[in-house]
Structure formats: C-alpha cells, structure tokens
Amino acid sequence: MTNDTSASGSSIELTPSSERTASIPDGFTVGKGPYSQRIGPLVYRREQAADGLWTGWVGVMMEDHHIGANQRGHGGLMLTLLDEAMGLNAFLNHGNTPVVTVSLTTHFIAATLPGHFLKATGRVVRATRSLAFIEGEAWCGDTLVGTASGVWKYLKKSDSSQSK
C-alpha cells in the first residue's frame, strides 16, 4: 500500500485495498495512474464491437469521500467520469491518439448515492483529423444520471508529452 500525506496532514491511500475493489463489476480493471487512484479508484473497461468500433467505460464505486454536503454524490465526480470516458472513446477510436478536452457541457439528471457503482461512457458522433465530437452518458445501475457533449483535440504523438 502506498500512502501520501495531504496538506492537512491526513494520510491518503493511493493503492486500492482488496476491500475497496471487491465490489467492482466484472470486466473492469483498476486504473494505475495517480489521479485514478486518488479520486477513486477509477476502473476502466474497453469493448470492441463486431464493426471494429470501441466502447470505453469509466466507473467508480461511490464511497463516503465522493459525497457532498447534501448526502448525494458530488457532481464534480460525475463530471470527471464523463470527461474520462468520453476522452477514452476519442482515444480508442482514433488509433490510440492522445487527446485533450476542448469543451464539455454536462447535464445532471439524477442524484447518486454512496454504495452504488457509477459508470460513464461516450460515443464518437463525428471526427475530423484534429477533433472528436463526443456524446456521453453516466449511469448508476439502470438509471441514467447524467449526459454530456463535448469536443476533444487529437494531439500529435510528439505533443502528448506536453499534456502531462
């Protein structure tokens, strides 16, 4: 287990415990990046359809630290999942070319609760050589809780190191 100390001096778990990952749905794998670990852990799933198109999903088990003052899931977490998932779909369906978010419009439809699995996905609606136009959805169980639309810019392979 790797721990980090926040500005307040409290310890932050960076490696998910088996207890935290036991309830992750089949087909999802835990993200390895520090951001994915710190905010989640975020989990990822990739599926390729018969037509060759990819669908990527990003999810998180809603825990106490994802909850706002109103005892509902914080909208920023849903926004993060939509951004990650929509960018993942732009990446997967353009030869794994790195992308950055240009714009993202989000609609919050329903609240999320602790103990539930929240997941998001995206679909490339249109793509040019330099831009991808994506629509996204966030789901909590069988309930659509958010939608989004946005634009992602494809980076040149040599530019991808500048985005970190």
Partner residues linked to 13 by β-bridges: 3
Domain 19-163 adopts which CATH fold?
Answer: Thiol Ester Dehydrase; Chain A (3.10.129)
C-alpha dihedral sign at 33, 90, 149, 132: positive
Please compute the mean of the pLDDT values over residues 63-92 and round it to a whole number: 92
| Position 158 pLDDT exceeds 50 | yes
- What are the residue boundaries of the structural domains of the chain, listed by start? 19-163
Instruction: Report the predicted TM-score, pTM, of the whole model to 2 decimal places.
Output: 0.81
Dump pLDDT digits (tens) for 87-134.
999 999 999 999 999 999 999 999 998 889 999 999 999 999 999 999
Confidence grade of residue 17 (pLDDT, cut at 50, 70, 90):
very low
Q: Tell me what pLDDT residue 19 has.
A: 52
Share of residues in the chain with pLDDT > 90 (%): 59
Rounded Cα–Cα distance for residues 65 and 49 (Å): 35
